[in-house]
Structure 1
Amino acid sequence: MADTTKTATSAKAEAAAKAVMQRFVAVAKGMPTKRKADDRNKDFDEIYGDFSTGEAKTQASRCSQCGVPFCQVHCPLHNNIPDWLKLTAEGRLEDAYEVSQATNTFPEVCGRICPQDRLCEGNCVIEKGFESVSIGAVERYITDTAWEEGWVKPAAPVRERPQSVGIIGGGPGGLAAADALRRRGYQVHVYDRYDRMGGLLIYGIPGFKLEKDVVERRTALLAQGGIHLHNNFEVGRDAMLAELREKHDAILISTGVYKARELELAGDKLDGIVPALDYLTASNKVGLGDSVPAFNEGTLDAKGKDVVVIGGGDTAMDCVRTAVRQGAKSVKCLYRRNRANMPGSLREVQNAEEEGVEFVWLAAPEGFAGVGKVKAVRASRIHLGLPDASGRQQPSKIDGSEFSLPADLVIKALGFDPEDTPTMFGAPGLAVTRWGTLRVDHKTMMSNLEGVFAAGDIVRGASLVVWAIRDGRDAADSIHRYIQAKAAGVAAAAE
């Protein structure tokens, strides 16, 4: 009788759970309210509003709770997405936050800037036929609520360890590693050459995607947890790598990749042709209240200009949308492939088009015209041929298809390469790959130098913020194992 009662109770509980979830058939996908283009083009505020509590619960309830959650599989952090969606649908937001932050140092950042259409949402099993769950918007809602309610706490290690770790680079990868190591009780020092922590989160990504107070409150929390943040500290100027190795038990290099790729076309030295990161950094610094001479004199300000951005990734989308907000006369994006082959988020392309950006598909630059200063981009039409080994169709120029686009400002958004890290750090023995990224043992994430680890873009090349966070957390695990093994060896030798 008891077994029968227990079975009936379990069946009722299961039925109640299904009533809360799997509502994708009855409930349409919804997103937070998006500001109209005419309104949002006037400022750098984020373009999406917030879910209400009811909206978040309703959208989370669309999750099918599938047996193999492809959203989780295709998330670089393997976030427990179905679990925190279910908790949100049940109104258990604090529990949802605890599950969310267990695998992600910056859930409020990922909820805003991850290309969900290519990762979790793009692999949602209900996508075909019912549209995906609004995973990113719910993630943002959970964490923003956690901040408002005071659930987000600084690290409070159970025990303090005597060993210290030096982290070079205060971007998402370095800060993710710092947080994980500090929670284990290590003495963590982060060195960054810029005047604010956050790396690309602060200086590379515009405010309309990620408002800067979102980043600054997180870095402030890391400092409250006992992480020592050293701004304006440049390795190679203020200390060499060897000095930091003497000072710390382990080093993590997580500097990212910042060197702009060049076009090397006729006229590419004309004034008015600038790298994307220089342009975005200037805009973000101005937004933070800094004085930027190159912006003040007009070099990095798009106001009143015909702007052409060359490239098709997320950085290019950031540039075109920034130019619109600066009051450009016209903004065009020149890309050698078509929309279907664009590496950037299609959601960002849609936002850019709504804001007045014109996309010039299947076109590649041939050179630049002007005397002293750029006045036009010379380009040719492109035909996409057969796929190569990567599966992407290869572009080829169409003879006789040349044309020109007027341009007072040309922004090169062609991607980034690593700087010469060994020379910069005074460590010529630090091994690099043929691409200039740091060479590591991918099992341990250690370089060829004992106790020196590397993670993020400086190892994998330019990639997504979420991958940097994943790499930083993995590096922290490896550093912990290394330090503990070293300490155990010292203890054994002393016996």
Structure 2
Amino acid sequence: MLKFVTVERDMPEKRVPNLRNKDFHEIYAEYADTKAKEQASRCSQCGVPYCQSHCPLHNNIPDWLNMTATGRLEEAYQISQATNTFPEICGRICPQDRLCEGNCVIEQSGHGTVTIGAVEKYITDTAWENGWVKPIIPSMERDQSVGIIGAGPGGLAAADVLRRAGVQVTVYDRYDRAGGLMTYGIPGFKLEKDVVMRRIDQLQQSGVEFVLNCTVGEDLSFDAIRGKHDAVVIATGVYKTRDLEGPGSDADGIVRAIDYLTVSNKLNFGDEVPEYEDGSLNAAGKRVVVIGGGDTAMDCVRTAIRQGAESVKCLYRRDRANMPGSQREVQNAEEEGVVFEWLSAPKGFMGTPVDGVVVQKMRLGAPDASGRQSPEIIDGADYLEPAELVIKALGFEPEDLPKLWGVDGLEVTRWGTVRAEFTSGKTSLEGVYAVGDIVRGASLVVWAIKDGRDSAEAVLEYLNETRAVAAE
């Protein structure tokens, strides 16, 4: 270890832009064994590991870097898996530049951060290749059951923990495949779908039951699920898109990011997708404008490039330094041909179907309550940006679950998220818990995994308490 002085940071090889922007395969290659050991050996083994403290899951990063550097990969995998349900997924899609790597001590000293995410991905991919990842076999089976609504990262993480404890688990989801946004929201060039599907298969082999194409409130009532199980975990995520305002905002050709990405991912599964075939959710040959500055916007612009768009521009109302999305993703998008129009926002839309966006230029003024500078409109600086496809990537809001599900007593916050107890996820309803984005608002996969794991432990305590009461 401690080789950061003599060994430079070296990320896995990245495919060249003019090749990778034509397909949906991941853009980073895998480390070779020697290179993984070398990069892991750069860790300084801090007495106070800021990488670990800034990871939502508090992964034991220095330990599994040590194990990797010394050739003890199976132990590295066991340490990594102990705190993270999906380490190979987090290694691919976590914004390490804002979390673990961004707080690496050797990065602060000017030596370049340890490539934590790439090593994490390598460890678990190697574990899969060597058969170290096996179906869950509980030491004993329990006759208690838990229903989980939502098969995204939070719901699946809870299912994993509960199944390891022998609980009978059923996961309900509205889509035809499990995985939530990992399956249908995140493009393959960041997360190839076989990586997600093999985890789903592992859970199925472990005894987790999946009820798919099931919309709660329509195909099955919330009360029915609650009546069938000893406890319920709500892990629906947030899918309601923040809307655009301005003249012409309801024109054909202005689409939601989630619809656009879902269609693209279904196509890459080999599904027949009418919305792609008829051109309504297909960027081929079109001038595309994506509105937003988060990771979803980055997914949309890079997807449009791969679909053969004539041009792709991203409008964001602040500057690059204030962009909420990963800077690494912005760089990848620019390499692939995306043009960013900073300090720009839509004022209105021309044509039906849309053929242009009226863009108003902005400048940054005084900081707002969050400390970020507020964008202000520059009068008289409007211009028309031609576009045949406009994608709204302005973030997501929670659906009105009490109304959709017809359930009384489920308390929500003023933002519409489910009101739940910190760490446990306990809601206002007896035996009902909530995790992930439906509690936090739109957030990261790694936070959903943490919430799912934490809440599952609270559910186990609840099940033990109800059993003890019943036995008295």
TM-score, with structure 1 as normaliser = 0.94
* 1: CA distance, partners of 2:363 / 2:53: 35
Of 253, 262, 268, the match for 1:272: 253
* 2: CA distance, partners of 1:26 / 1:253: 49
Of 149, 169, 178, the match for 2:159: 178
Give the conservation status (yes or no) of the 8 Å contact 2:423–2:455: no
* 2: CA distance, partners of 1:192 / 1:475: 19
Of 369, 373, 396, the match for 1:393: 373
Structure 2 counterpart of 1:148: 129
Cα shift at 1:265 = 1.3
Percent of aligned pairs with the same residue? 66
**Alignment of 1:249 onto 2:233:** no
**Alignment of 1:41 onto 2:21:** yes
**Alignment of 1:228 onto 2:228:** no
Pick the structure with greater CA Rg.
Answer: 1
Matches within 5 A, 1:451-466: 451-466=431-446
* 2: CA distance, partners of 1:473 / 1:325: 36
* 1: CA distance, partners of 2:238 / 2:399: 7
Matches within 5 A, 1:227-376: 227-370=208-351, 372-376=352-356
Structure 1 counterpart of 2:457: 477
Structure 2 counterpart of 1:53: 33
* 1: CA distance, partners of 2:418 / 2:120: 33
SS at match of 2:355: strand
Cα shift at 1:160 = 0.4
* 2: CA distance, partners of 1:300 / 1:317: 17
**Alignment of 1:89 onto 2:69:** yes
Matches within 5 A, 1:100-115: 100-115=80-95
Q: Deviations over 1:448-477 (max 9, x none)?
A: 111111000000000000000000001101
Give the conservation status (yes or no) of the 8 Å contact 2:305–2:337: yes
SS at match of 2:226: helix
Output the aligned Cα RMSD. Answer: 0.7
**Alignment of 1:420 onto 2:385:** no
SS at match of 1:220: helix
Cα shift at 1:486 = 1.1
SS at match of 2:147: strand
Structure 1 counterpart of 2:198: 217
SS at match of 1:433: coil
Matches within 5 A, 1:392-411: 392-411=372-391
Structure 2 CA distance for partners of 1:58 and 1:381, relative to 1, 3 Å: same
| Count of equivalent residues | 471
Q: Deviations over 1:115-156 (max 9, x none)?
A: 000000000011131110000000000000000000001111
Q: Deviations over 1:414-435 (max 9, x none)?
A: 0000111112222133111111
Cα shift at 1:443 = 5.1
TM-score, with structure 2 as normaliser = 0.99
* 1: CA distance, partners of 2:200 / 2:283: 31
* 2: CA distance, partners of 1:466 / 1:440: 18
Cα shift at 1:231 = 1.1
Structure 2 counterpart of 1:195: 176
Cα shift at 1:204 = 0.1
SS at match of 1:102: helix
Specify every segment of 5 or more residues in structure 1 that has no aligned partner in the other structure, as ranges: 1-20
Which one is further off, 295-304 or 433-442? 433-442
Q: Deviations over 1:228-253 (max 9, x none)?
A: 11111121122211111111000000
Give runs of ≥4 in structure 1 deviating > 3 Å.
none
* 2: CA distance, partners of 1:364 / 1:329: 21
Of 117, 126, 138, the match for 1:157: 138
Give the conservation status (yes or no) of the 8 Å contact 2:246–2:349: yes
Give the conservation status (yes or no) of the 8 Å contact 2:287–2:310: yes
SS at match of 2:136: coil
Q: Deviations over 1:277-319 (max 9, x none)?
A: 0000000001101111111100000000000000000000000
* 2: CA distance, partners of 1:218 / 1:468: 16
SS at match of 2:345: strand
**Alignment of 1:79 onto 2:69:** no
Structure 1 counterpart of 2:8: 28
Specify every segment of 5 or more residues in structure 2 that has no aligned partner in the other structure, as ranges: none
* 2: CA distance, partners of 1:471 / 1:102: 15
Structure 1 counterpart of 2:448: 468
AA in 2 matched with 1:431: E
